[in-house]
Structure 1
Amino acid sequence: MCLSTAYIDSGKEKKELMKDVARMEADANGFSLFDLFGEKTFVRGKIKSIDFVEEHSVVFEDTSAGAGS
Structure 2
Amino acid sequence: MCLSTVYMDSGEQQTEIMKDVARIQAEGRGFWLYDMFGDKQYVEGTIETVNLMDGYFVLHRAGGSH
TM (norm. structure 2) is 0.90
What is the RMSD of the two structures over their aligned residues, measured on CA atoms? Answer: 1.2
Tell me the number of residue pairs that the alignment of Structure 1 and Structure 2 aligns.
Answer: 65
Larger of the two Rg values belongs to structure? 1
Give 5+ residue unaligned stretches, structure 1: none
Aligned equivalents of 2:58, 2:2: Cα separation in 1? 17
Alpha-carbon contact 2:29-2:46 (below 8 Å) kept: no
The runs of 5 or more residues in structure 2 that have no matched partner are none
Query: What displacement does 1:59 show?
Result: 0.1
Structure 1 outlier segments of 4+, above 2 Å: none
Letter in 1 for 2:59: F
Identity of aligned residues (%): 43
Please identify which structure carries the higher strand content: 2
Residue 28 of structure 1, CA deviation? 1.4
